[in-house]
Structure formats: structure tokens, C-alpha cells
Chain A
Amino acid sequence: MSSTAMKKKVLLMGKSGSGKTSMRSIIFANYIARDTRRLGATIDVEHSHVRFLGNLVLNLWDCGGQDTFMENYFTSQRDNIFRNVEVLIYVFDVESRELEKDMHYYQSCLEAILQNSPDAKVFCLVHKMDLVQEDQRDLIFKEREEDLRRLSRPLACTCFRTSIWDETLYKAWSSIVYQLIPNVQQLETNLRNFAQIIEADEVLLFERATFLVISHYQCKEQRDAHRFEKISNIIKQFKLSCSKLAASFQSMEVRNSNFAAFIDVFTSNTYVMVIMSDPSIPSAATLINIRNARKHFEKLERVDGPKHSLHMRMR
């Protein structure tokens, strides 16, 4: 443990084979090497060295399906694992045949959370929903959600149904991130003001590590409902290419006769994307506006109290 602030964790847990590694790889744009597909359960926690929302560190754990030796290790390390948890994301495989067992492991995780980090937020993802027939998805998800809500008491859990093959995964994680941003309503109001001042068509605020859309403002109806996910995928692909050259992505400008789009670093945890449909406004003007707004939004982040995780680094 570092001598400075205790890093808060995001726990990504679930049964072995429920899709956590794929999910992590897709959301955080991590390359999965072939041999990470292990034959057995994770012996140790998988730390990802990604700073998520400032100071959060992602920890990936396999839960359940272990033999007694593993069970003992798990229980002896339990307090270590569940201390300082900011977020618990628990992944359920919708096709799992051992519902009772899954619920049992989930409950023991919840007990540990209650003991060690009672303020943690709990999210449940019912994953691999593409394997269920389309007309049955809502029904099955509602059933699971009821069961999980019931089991989680007194903790409140938020449930999502997800699949890596449709927009539900991106939307679920965007909602999770949205709930983790402390003063998100204030951010949105400020974002709207900013957009109106610079006469932008649309302004998006992305989380830095995952390019999940935290908040957005649009002044008119847009045609493509999936544009957030597409932008996120494109930028993450570009980040992957940059990382091969040991470079890091900082900013991008795309311009043609119909529009100009700017993607740039904004605050310490966010990126901003500004779309201007008036080509007569020079790039320099927009870039200056973004730079000035940056200072304002940084101040916003700093406003809240010291116990906030986003603020950890400043201590």
C-alpha cells in the first residue's frame, strides 16, 4: 500500500468464465493476450494499472468454482480484498446452470462488503444476454433483477442487462460511471452553458480511461443513436495504435466543409469532444474557448470535500 492516499478500488467480480476479462478489455481498451484465458480460477487478483475516474484502481477477481484450498485462501484474504472498495460490479452469466451457487457467492461478497466497505456502491450485470432469445430477454432480466434486489438488502444494488454484442454494455458502464461522478448535475449545467456560448452543435464529456460518455449536450436531434459508442470505439482503437508506438493520445481535430470536431484533454479525469457545424468559425477560436473552459471545470472538480475519491491525488 502506498504511503500516500489509500487507493480506492473498483471490484469486478463474478464466476469464472462469466466474461469479466473480455468486458474489462473492451471497456478499458486492454489487449488480451492469448494465454490469459486460463484453465482454472484466478489465483490472485488481477490488478489493472488503469486509473479510473481519477484514483480508482480496477481489481478483477474470479468468484466461486474453487476447490477447498482456494476457498480457504479466499476467506483468509477476504478483508484485504474487500477493504477500501468504492464500487462493486458483480457479473452474472445469464446462461449459468447453477443459479443457487451464484447467488450464494454473491451474498458472501455482499456480506464482506457490508463488513469492510459499507459505503460501496453495488452494481449487478446480467451478462451474455445475446444468448437469450430476443422476445424473452426482458422477462428473464426482470426476474433476475427482482431476485437480486431482494438478496441485496439492506444494500441497494443497481442491475443492468448487458452483452458485448449490443449497445447494452456501453450504456450500462456509462450509467455506472455517471453515478460515480459526484457533482454530475452541476457538470451538465455548466456543459450546457459552455456549449451555448461557443455555439457548438454537440458537446460530449468522456471519462479519460474508458471514453465512456459521462454527460453530453446537443442542440438539435441527431440521427445516429449509437454515435457515442462508435466514437468511443474509434478513439480506443486509435489509442491502441498509439500505444504500440509508446505514444499517448492527447487531442484530435477533424474538419471538412460541413463540420469541425475537436477532441481534447479537458480535466484530469475527462476528455471533451466539441462539434461545430459552422465552418466559418476558425479552429483557433474554438481551441481557445476549450482551454478557458478547462480552467473553469477543473475548479468545479476541486470544489467538493476532501473525502471524495476524485480529489484523492490533490492531498
Chain B
Amino acid sequence: MEEDWKPLLDPVRHGGFSHKGSTDSLDRVARRPFHVEPRNIVDEAPAERVTAEAAVLNSRVNYYGRLTGSSDRLLSPPDHVIPCPEEIYVYSPLGTAFKVPGGDGGSKNPSIITIFAIWNTMMGTSILSIPWGIKQSGFTLGIIILVSMGLLTLYCCLRVLRSPKSIPYIDTSDWEFPDVCNYYLGKLGQWSSLLFSMVSLIGAMVVYWVLMSNFLFNTGKFIYNYAYNVSMSDTDFGTNGSERVICPFPDTDDKGKNDSSLSALYRLSDSNSSYHGNDTALFDHWWSKTNTIPFYLIVLLLPLLNFRSASFFARFTFLGTISVVYLIFLVTLKAVRLGFHLEFHWFDSTDIFVPEFRLLCPQLTGVLTLAFFIHNCIITLMKSNKHQENNVRDLSVAYLLVGLTYLYVGVLMFAAFPSPPLSKDCIEPNFLDNFPSSDVLVFVARTCLLFQMTTVYPLLGYLVRVQIMSQIFGKHYPGFFHVLTLNIIIVAAGVCMAKFYPNIGSIIRYSGATCGLALVFVLPSLVHMISLKRRGELSWPSALFHSLLIVLGVANVAGQFFM
């Protein structure tokens, strides 16, 4: 027996997953939820009346629904007869009518999901460079800088988030930050925000290439050594014992610049050719971190970059979460096993320890600018937050969690680094490099990260392609050869960096400071000041503070080049 109660109007809309320049890891379900504000129609007030057309259509739909089977679409209302969402009321048997508001497609997420999405998106490979950054700026100063940078970038992020709201008379519900810059600063603003966003994306892709070469090298080495039972001799300077920590480039320059030109002498430790027989020499010749592996990766990744759509790769964002969680676990385990080795020398450096306050601190601020960078897609990410009034709170909580994660990893790795035999200066820009290839736990970390990066790399490539191609040619996929050319350029940049300058710390800090200059410091502050000025609300303290932010951004970039 068919049930007598039939649903009124089917509110399913077919919303699409739109790539608006952000990799959203959460699925957008087509069905909209109801958010109803109760309005009473029992009263005689004529303004509260449901429109006659909607009411009689409701009557018809109710009746026609009884005439056919429940799955039969013969008498279903077609889209063009259903009134617009503002006229749809849901009747309650108690006499009140609820209005269904029209909303944009896509489901709304509770705060916790939004916070997690932001955390997930912000957690990048910069986590590997935080211990090095803390080392570069000194332990105490490093912690102070981490907290301050977190607060500064949070403030600028809030400015970015609030910026579309203060535009009067225009519907800005689908605007991203470049559109806001276009409104306030014209074409210059739009182009500069896009250009600097490109810098961060391409910088990330180059870093990924270097890291992937690194991880592939170490993974291959581990498997080779395990298969052929080659024992790792102590060619690398490091600690003895079960928890081995190595210093790949000892005796480096005093200024702490791990310039690979200086460590060219130590390339021998990479190849190990003179210490093992000819077989290993052959393997080491064909499996070299800087000479051959970057080229092997081309075979794997260039085809992936040429895919027309990246939605397949978006499914794997969970790998990133797993990798970060595993890294946290790994760091905790290592810290427990190695113990803490901290000594506080405030301004002078010793052989083994670094001072607490160092002049190289801009290097850390550069790294942190990229580590806390989400300003180019925060508006899109926050759009799906269910309670929009909690946006500020949710963003702050997300930043707090990100900051705590970085702080935890950075402080623990720095503190646990075995300083009596090794100098703190040995901490590598990629802290996994401080562990030998034979370490099983670290091998697992490297493999996880390798997989994760292989899936994120095409996503980043897709974002770069979409942005550049839309600006130059007007469409996302102008032609196979255009896209191939772009991909070859990006891959070539990665390969060159991996071969000649595989120092991810430097790449991260330069690209971070540059893109942060525009998107974190200058543009949000400028836009905010202009909007206040147009409303006549610009006060002296506010103008001073925001100008100071702009100066800080410029100083950040300058510091990268001079320090």
C-alpha cells in the first residue's frame, strides 16, 4: 500500500563542483539542506500570505503525485514551473509556513569540518623545514617568531576574509581575493595578486620536485641495501648507537648557509663508491639524488600533469593528513628515544650550540610566511561554513592548531637533536635528511610523503594551468600543446633546482617571502585602508598599523636577500 504522505516539492538542485582555484577536499553534495525561519500564516496580515501561484501549484503537485506510482516521473513538475526559492513555503500542519531560502549550491559544513579543512590545506611540506628555521633564528627567538608570525598572518587572513563583505551595492558572494583587488586597485591589483599567487604555487612545485627526488633516492637506497644486505658504513658523520642521527654536511660555513657548492666535496658520501665494490658503484652512479633521479621523475610526473581534469587526484588528500600525523608520531618517538639536549647560550655561539638570538631570523620568517599561507583560497574554503558568524573564531582555532603543530615538531626536533656529538648547525632544511637511509621508521615516512606528493603535484599543476591559461587564453584547456609547453617549463624548473640547488629551506623562504609580500602583507592592508578611506573611517592608528604591516612585508623580502 502506497504511503499517503508525499513530499511537497523536490528541492534537489544539481550543483557542480567548481574549481575556483582551491583544492577542496570535502565533497559537495548536490542536495541542499533546509534552513527555515518560521513565519506564521494564520494571522490576517496580508504581507505574510503565501503567493497564490505557489499555493495552487502545491495543491496540483500534491494531487498529481497521487495519480501515478511513486517512481513514475510522468506527472512530476518540470524545473520551469517550480517557483523560485523565495516563493517556496513548507506548510506545517499547525498552521505556520516556513520559507525555504535560496542559497548557493553545496552543503554547509559544521565548524569542526571547516577547521579541519583549513588545517589540512595549510599543512604542507614546510613542516619539514621548521626545525631548520628554528635553528637559523635561535631557539628562543624562533619560538617568539613562530607565535608572532602566526598572529600576524592570522590577522591578515581575517582581513582577506572580511574584504568582500565591505563592498557595497554589489553581490560579492562568489568573489575571490583577486576580484576584490580588482575592485579596489584595478587591473594592477588583480594581476599582482594572481602573479604572486603563481609564485607560491610554482615555488611549491619546485620544492615538491626536490623533495620527491630526495625521498625516491632514499627509498631506492633502502630497498637496495636491504635486498643486497649492504651494511651502511659510517661514512656519514653521525652518532653511534641504535638511534642514528647523521650530519650529512659537517664543517659547513659559519654563517650556516648550507650552500651545496661548499659541500661538493662531500658528495662522496652520497655515492659511497670508494667504499663498496663495483656493483654498488654502478647502482650509485645510476641512482643519484641530484644527477639522475630528477630525470626519472619526469617519466612519472609529466604525463600526470597533462591530465585534463585533476578531480581524480583530489580524492587523495587524506594521504596528506596521514603523513602529517605520522610525522608527529615519528618526532615524538625520536624525541623520547634521543632525549633532550638543550643548552641556552644567549648571544654567543659555541661549537655545538647556536645562540638563542641570531641574526639569521629572517630565514625563519620567510619559511613561516609560506607555512601559514592560505590567503589565496581562504574565502572559498570559508564559504561552506554552516555558521558564517563563527568564521573569525573558526579561522583563529585553525591557525592555533597549525601553529601548535609546527611548534611541536620544530621544538621537539630541535631539542632532541643529539648535540654533544653533533652540532645543532647540522639540522637540515629537510629534517628527515638527518636520519640515515637505513632507518625503518623514517623510510616509512619518506614513502608516505612520496606517495602524497605524487598525488598533490598534479593538483598544483592543474591550479597553475587553470589560472595562467584563463588569464592568457580565456579558457582552462586551450590546447594540448599549450598545456604541454607550460608543464615542460614547470618541470624543467623543478629539475634544474633539484640538480643544482636542492636546498628546500632556501626555496621555501624566498618564494614564501615573495608571495607573502603581496598576498599576506601588502594587498590585504592596502585594500583595507582604501575601503576605510572610502567610507571616511580611516583613523591614524589604523593607517599607521597597516602601513607598518606593509613595511614588515618588504623587510621580510629584503631580509631573505641580505641575511
Contact = CB atoms under 8 A, between A and B. Distances in A.
A42 interface: no
Interface in A236-268: 236-237, 240-241, 244
B147 to A, nearest CB: 62
B62 to A, nearest CB: 7
B203 to A, nearest CB: 52
Given A25-B67, A34-B68, A37-B74, A237 B57 contact: no
A166 B72 CA distance: 21
Interface in B1-42: 1, 4
B67 A29 contact: yes
A229 B81 contact: no
B472 interface: no
Interface string A134-166: 000000000000000000000000000000111
A33 to B, nearest CB: 7
B59 A233 contact: yes
A196 B74 CA distance: 44
B67 A225 contact: no
B52 A226 contact: yes
B436 to A, nearest CB: 71
Contacts, number: 66
A26 B67 contact: yes
Contacts of A300: none
A131 B78 CA distance: 10
Contact of A237 (B1, B56, B66): B66
Interface in A30-64: 30-34, 37
Interface string B43-75: 000000000100111011011101111011011
A164 B62 contact: no
Given A226-B52, A241-B4, A165 B81 contact: yes
Q: Which of A37, A226, A241, A244 has the most CB of B within 10 A?
A: A226
A116 interface: no
A283 interface: no
Nearest to A224: B52
Nearest to A233: B63
Interface in A154-207: 164-167
Contacts of B1: 244
B443 to A, nearest CB: 61
A244 B64 CA distance: 16
B101 interface: no
B80 interface: yes
Given A224-B52, A225-B52, A226-B52, A164 B64 contact: yes
A26 B64 contact: yes
B81 A30 contact: no
Interface residues of B, number: 23
A245 to B, nearest CB: 10
Interface in B71-92: 71-72, 74-75, 77-78, 80-81
Contacts of B56: 167, 226, 229-230
B57 A30 contact: no
Given A229-B56, A230-B59, A240 B66 contact: yes
B75 A30 contact: no
A298 interface: no
B57 A165 contact: yes
A224 B64 CA distance: 21
B80 A130 contact: yes
Nearest to B71: A34
B266 to A, nearest CB: 77
Contacts of B72: 32, 34
B547 to A, nearest CB: 56
Nearest to A33: B69
Contact of B67 (A32, A166, A244): A32
Contacts of B78: 130, 165
Contact of B59 (A32, A130, A234): A234
Interface in A263-315: none
Contacts of A37: 74
Contacts of B77: 165
A22 interface: yes
A167 B67 CA distance: 18
Contacts of B66: 31, 237, 240
Contacts of A29: 67
A165 B74 contact: no
Given A32-B72, A226-B52, A236 B63 contact: yes
For A34, A131, A165, the residue with the greatest tally of chain B CB atoms inside 10 Å of its CB is: A165
Contacts of A236: 63
B324 to A, nearest CB: 53
B243 to A, nearest CB: 72
A104 B45 CA distance: 55
Nearest to B80: A130
Given A164-B75, A165-B77, A165-B81, A237 B60 contact: no
A214 B71 CA distance: 34
A25 B57 CA distance: 17
B302 to A, nearest CB: 50
A22 B75 contact: yes
Contact of A226 (B55, B68, B71, B80): B55
Contacts of A33: 69
B81 to A, nearest CB: 4
Contacts of B80: 130-131
B464 to A, nearest CB: 43
B1 to A, nearest CB: 8
Contacts of B75: 22, 25-26, 32, 164
B57 to A, nearest CB: 7
B95 to A, nearest CB: 12
Given A22-B75, A37-B74, A164-B75, A30 B59 contact: no
Given A34-B69, A226-B52, A130 B81 contact: yes
Nearest to B52: A226
A225 B60 CA distance: 15
B62 A237 contact: yes
Contacts of B68: 25, 31-32, 34
A25 B4 CA distance: 18
A236 B67 CA distance: 10
A164 B72 CA distance: 16
A226 B53 CA distance: 8
Given A26-B64, A237-B66, A229 B59 contact: yes
A165 B60 contact: yes
**Which of the listed residues B64, B67, B71, B74 has the most CB atoms from chain A within 10 Å of its own CB?**
B67
Contacts of A30: 67
A26 B62 CA distance: 12
A230 B69 CA distance: 22
Given A130-B81, A165-B81, A224-B52, A31 B60 contact: no
7 contacts: A26-B67, A31-B67, A165-B77, A230-B56, A230-B59, A233-B62, A236-B63
Top 5 A-B pairs ranked by shortest CB distance?
A233-B63, A226-B56, A165-B81, A230-B59, A233-B59
Given A165-B77, A229-B56, 7 more contacts: A224-B52, A224-B55, A226-B56, A230-B55, A233-B59, A237-B63, A241-B4
Interface of B: 1, 4, 52, 55-57, 59-60, 62-64, 66-69, 71-72, 74-75, 77-78, 80-81
